[in-house]
Structure 1
Amino acid sequence: MYIHLDFESDTPIYKQLMHQIIAGIAKQELKPGESLPSVRTMAADIGINLHTVNKTYHQLKEKGFILIHRQKGVVINPDGTPKADEIYMLQLKNALYPLVAESVCRGVKEEEFRQLCISLFQEFTQRKDRSK
């Protein structure tokens, strides 16, 4: 999996890295049980501070995407990512709320917004379906 970080972005580096690892899991570029580089190796490979990678890994662990073992290192959760529950759905709604509000303010039509969501969703699900 190729990691590309935008050092000029307003989005913090740890979030960019986290989003790219989650996207890699969603696209099945990273498979359950697969190892990720150590904190030091990942930091050296992409040229960022090891504390940034450490923060990313701990956030991914909290969300259930990865496991951190003393002996095995960092691995994609072999059991897969925990399924969406009521708490996740509330978080999703809260994350989408300001995006929808801003879109309405900027004159984005409901159908345009839906099509964008469908297109983004298909970017992850169609690749997954092809591998079956």
Structure 2
Amino acid sequence: MIINLDMTSSIPIYVQLRNEIVMGIGKGNLTLGESLPTVRQMAEDIGVNMMTVSKAYNILKNEGYIEIDRRHGAKINPTLDINGEFKEKLEIDLSLLIAESGIKGVNKKDFIDLCEKIFNNMDGINIKGCEV
């Protein structure tokens, strides 16, 4: 998997790394149960501090995207499930995006078309068979 980070962005590197891994899962570039590089190896590969990678991995673990085992390292959670907490956060985040889009002049049809376009680019977990 190729990790693309923008070192000049105002978005913290650990957040970018977290987002890249989530997108990798969604696009099918990372599969359930697949091992991730060790913190040390990932830090070397992308040229960042080990603490940055560790922070991203811990966020992913807390969100349920990865499992971390001291003996076997980090891997994509083989049983990714949608839980009530995620659905609640999703509703809040989508409501905010819809409000921001409306304020910026994006109409409902264009918003839905964009969502469908992005959705169709995802080949990963529990996405391909879903209909919008």
The 1-side partners of 2:40 and 2:83 are apart by 34
User: For residues 8-29 of structure 1, what are the alpha-carbon distances to aligned partners after superposition, in whole Å with 9 as ceiling and x for unaligned?
Assistant: 2222111111111111111221
Q: Between the two proteins, what is the percent identity of the paired residues? A: 43
The residue number in structure 1 matching 2:44 is 44
Alpha-carbon offset, residue 126 of structure 1: 8.1
Return the alpha-carbon distance in structure 1 between the equivalents of residues 111 and 9 of structure 2: 23
Who is 2:70 aligned against? Answer: 70
Question: Aligned partner of 1:51: which letter?
Answer: M
Q: TM-score, normalised by structure 2?
A: 0.88
TM-score (norm 1): 0.88
Query: Where does residue 28 of structure 1 map in the other structure?
Result: 28
Question: 1:112 maps to what in 2?
Answer: 110
Letter matched to residue 97 of structure 1: S
RMSD: 1.8
Please list every run of 5 or more consecutive structure 2 residues that lacks an aligned counterpart in the other structure: none
Name the amino acid aligned to 2:92: N
What per-residue deviation string (whole Å, max 9, x for no partner) do you get for residues 28-86 of structure 1? 2111221111111101110111111001101111111111111111111123x12x232
**SS of equivalent residue, structure 1 residue 30:** coil
